[in-house]
Structures are given as C-alpha cells and as structure tokens.
Structure 1
Amino acid sequence: MNRLLLLFLCVCLAGCSSTSTTTAPTTMQENEQEQIKPRDLHVVALGDSLTEGVGDGKGGYVTLVKQYLEKREDVSEVFVQNFGKRGLRSEQLTDIITKNEPVIQKADLILITIGGNDVMKVVRSHFLSLTYELFVKEQQAFASRLDEQLQLLRYINPDAYIVLVGLYNPFSAAFPNISEMDGIIHMWNEGSKKVFSRYDYTLFVPIVDLFEGRDDILYDDQFHPNTRGYELIAQRIYEYLQQHEWIGE
C-alpha cells in the first residue's frame, strides 16, 4: 500500500509541475499581444501652403509625418485628409474647419500651419510705412482668432491631439529693409505658444531654428521649404509627438 500511495503522489506532482510550466509562457504572450494592439489613425491637416506642401512634389511634411506614424508597431493604417490651401490666412481658417466638421470629428491628430500669410498681409498693406507696432496689433488679432478656432476644434472633437507648427523666417531675405523681422517672428510664435498652453492635448512645435542660415532648405522661391526643408519639419513634429503620452516613446 505504501508503494502504491507513493507512486500516486509522484504522478500527481508531475502533473502539477507540467501544468505550471506550460501555461505561464502562454499567459505572457497573451499579455504582450494585449499591450500592442495596432490601431488606425485619422489625421486632419489644416492651414496654408506649408500644409499643402508647396515647394515639394511629394506632399510636404504631412505625407512624411504619415510615413513616420505608419512605421510604428502600434499603428495599423493612417488615413489623412489634407485641407491645406496656398495663401490661407487665419481669418479664413474658421470656414475651413466648419465645412469639414464631420471629418474633424473622427480625427486622432490635427496638424496646423497658419500665420505666415497674416505676416505677409501686414507687409503688403503697409510696405511704405511699416512699424513694429503694426505687427504687434496684427499678432494680437491673430492670437484671438487662434483661440476661437481652438475652442471650435475642441467643441467638434474633444479628444484629438492638435499640433500647431510655428513660423520660421524667410522674410528677411525678401524684405531686407525690415530689420526687426527676427523679433517679429519670435513675438508671433510666443503668442501662439501661449494660446496653445491653455488647452489640453495641444502641442506647439517650433521650427524657426531649423531654417536659420539655411537657404539650402528653401525652395526656388526662397520662401517655401524644399523637400529637405519639409523633411526637417516632419522630423521635428514627430520628435515632439514622441515626448507625449498620446504617441508614446
């Protein structure tokens, strides 16, 4: 009887040992699969010629950001709606937003470039009588509109990450008589950054440093970025997105 009992206990222990060693790896694999669930991303791009990609025949920074996102293990497919329009000023952006409300409602990420044409409007309207105060006044109006547009975007879509790409300075070469242009662009960017800081899930991406002393990354018109310029903008946007929980490390 003792031998039979001993044999029975050995069989039971062997069975328990086998169960514990085979189930643990399976559970770990299941946990890893649950952690990485590729998902579709919907991106909406709004704004001026930079969003349209003028100066690059490949779609500009928007296409490049899409490619960065598609390489991620946690992203299945990226769908992009690009509403960039050459010459667009901030006072016209609200109309673009309201006309495309159904698409914006589905967005996970909203990319915006706006403001460059507002600066140009000041230059063209007051070319013979330009003062720093004129730019300050227009920037304040721009910031007010930007704040209203952020409120509208948040009303349409409370959860999307909204990215505003800052201004760079191609104006000095075109208008060498405006000696304060670097300061004007800095003032403009700081105002936009301040507006964005008041909202959750928003990100201001500075790019002015990328273009300092770099005529080689401008298009033939010496105003828009060329292909390399857009590559640098896209890299900067993606680097900033990686620093936030929405996109991860």
Structure 2
Amino acid sequence: MKKWGLLFLLLFYCAGCSSQQAINASLPERQIKLAPRMVANDFFPKDIRVLALGDSLTEGIGDREQKGGYISRLRQQLLQHKGVRTITVVNLGKRGLRISQLDDVVHQHIEAVEQADLIFITIGGNDMMKIVRSHFFDLSYELFAKEQKRFAARLDHLLATIRAANRHATIVLIGLYNPFSSSLSNVPEIDDVIELWNNGSKEVLKRYDRTIFVNVKDLFDNRDDMLYSDQFHPNEIGYEQMARRVYDELTKHEEMWLRRSEQ
C-alpha cells in the first residue's frame, strides 16, 4: 500500500511539472526593459583642456611668487575635483592687451581655441586705462558709459568668433574690479562705472550658451593688501582669491563644463 501511495505522489509531481512547463511554453516571451540609469557627470574623470586669453591678469603680472597668477592656482584646484583627471593649459595672456586686440590672438591660435574645453578671459582693464590716460582732466561717467557700449560690441564680436570655432567649450569671463579708488578721485562714480561695465558684459554673455560671468569686484573693494605695488595688478593674495572665486562658480555649473557636447 505504501508503494502505491509513493507511486501516486510521484506521478502527481511529474504531472505538475509537465503542466507548468506547458504553460510556460505557451506564454510569449516578455522583453524586460530596464530604465536607463543616470550617470553623474563626474563618474568618469575627464581630461580638461584649458585656454586662457586676455591681458596681464591672465599672464599673472604682480604675482610675487611667480606661480602664474590665478590660472595656475585655479589649475591646482581643478585637479582636486573628482570629475577631473588631467588639466592641460594654454596661456595666451599678454600684458597691455585690449579687447580690440584679442581677435588677432584668437585667429593666430585657432587650433587651441577649437580644442579647448574651458576658455577663461580677463579683459577690459586696459580699455579703461586708455580712457583715463586720454581724458585724465575731463573724465566723466558719461564718457565711460559711451566707451562701455563700444567695449560690449567688441566683446560680442569676440564671443561670436570663439563660438564659431568651438561650440562646446564653456567660456568664463572674469569681471573688472576697482583699483582706481585713490588715483581717480576726480571720478567719484568710479565704482558705478565698474558696475556698468560688468553688467554690460553680463548682458552680452547671456546671448551665448555655455558662458559664465565671474564677479571679483567685491574681493578687491577696500583691500589694498591684495594689490601689487603698482596698485593696479593683483598680488599673489589677490590671484589666490580670484582663483577660488572662479572655482566656486565652476562648481555651481558643473553640468556645463564636465558634460561634453557632441562635436
């Protein structure tokens, strides 16, 4: 009797397996689609190519430690970022350059422009100094306002030229600060003039994608200890503060410069 009971249970089990297999065989295969996973921009560290354009601030004049101004200090900070593997820098900064002269620099180094991931620009200080030297005895807010419009038009042309050569790079323009508080006592509105020029540059940048304006004016307000002995250029302290401010702005816009666009 026990044998028949065991045999019955065995047949029942086998029949259940067969029926389950038959059911599985009759059901169409279902394709399982997994939702795409979002990968953070800094998941794979990148090799970043930096191009620095502009005047003596880009060259690093006034840096008594001779470490290359804000660019070299910024490079060291960027190398600590988890999304960055290497940094290659091409520094084309040259003392005395005005914005009208940057077009030639861009055209002469068009390959460096095309390859850059980050393009940093300091410009405008010498444009303002040209106004000061040419109109020292008749300086006025209205004169600076008139020249600012010309500066903005040239900045627009410069950005269009850069963007035509490189549509994926993030362009970072560093604003003007006021080193003239003691030398231009005949223009009490000089702080307003700096704000006017900076705001005009911001408006130009808004016309272009992947651009960042970095305001550094407040860093230098009433801080003679951050200026070189010429009372115009930053010293090593000033450049360090500039680099930190630029880095802080970059971290706020990581999606812009860590994510490569299709080229």
Normalised by the length of structure 2, the TM-score is: 0.80
Instruction: Write the distance in 2 (CA, Å) between the matches of 1:169 and 1:197.
Output: 23
Separation in structure 2 between the aligned mates of residue 71 and residue 34 of structure 1, nearest angstrom:
15
Query: Which of the residues 151, 159, 162 maps onto 1:142?
Result: 151
The residue matched to 2:104 in structure 1 has which SS?
helix
Say which of 215, 218, 223 aligns to 1:214: 223
**Partner Cα separation in structure 2 for residue 181 and residue 146 of structure 1:** 21
Letter of the 2:236 counterpart: T
Does residue 104 of structure 2 align to residue 110 of structure 1?
no
Deviation, 1:35, is: 6.5
Aligned match of 1:43:
50
Distance 1:159 1:182, change over 3 A: same
Q: What letter corresponds to residue 167 of structure 2 in structure 1?
A: P
Q: Deviations over 1:180-239 (max 9, x none)?
A: 111110100000011001111000000000011111111111111110100110100010
Compute the displacement of 1:176 (Å).
Answer: 1.9
Which deviations, in whole Å up to 9, do the C-alpha atoms of 1:34-72 show, x marking residues without a partner?
972222110000000100000111100000111111112
1:147 CA displacement? 0.3
Matched, 1:67 2:66: no
- The answer for the alignment partner of 1:14 in structure 2 is none
Q: 1:35 to 1:196 in 2, by over 3 A?
A: closer
1:104 aligned partner, one-letter code: V
Structure 2 unaligned regions, length at least 5: 1-5, 14-37, 259-263
**Structure with the bigger percentage of helix:** 1
Query: What residue in structure 1 maps to residue 206 of structure 2?
Result: 197
- Greater Rg, structure 1 or structure 2? 2
Report what 2:256 is aligned to.
246
Q: Distance in 1 between matches of 2:41 and 2:175?
A: 37
4+ residue runs of structure 1 moved beyond 4 angstroms?
A: 31-35
Residue number in structure 1 paired with 2:32: none
Alpha-carbon RMSD across the aligned residues, in angstroms, is 2.1
Letter of the aligned partner of 1:44 in structure 2?
A: L
Mapped pair 1:181 → 2:190: yes
How many residues end up aligned between the 2 structures?
A: 223
For the residue of structure 1 that corresponds to 2:78, the secondary structure is helix
SS in 1 for 2:105: helix
Per-residue deviation, 1:75: 1.4
CA distance in 2, matches of 1:174, 1:93: 27
Query: How many Å apart are 1:73 and its aligned residue?
Result: 2.2
Q: What's the secondary structure of 1:183's corresponding residue?
A: helix
> 2:45 corresponds to which letter in structure 1?
P
Structure 2 counterpart of 1:234: 243
Report the TM-score, using the length of structure 1 for normalisation. 0.85
Confirm or deny that 1:82 pairs with 2:102. no
SS at match of 1:139: helix
Alignment CA distance shift 1:41-1:141 (3 Å) = same
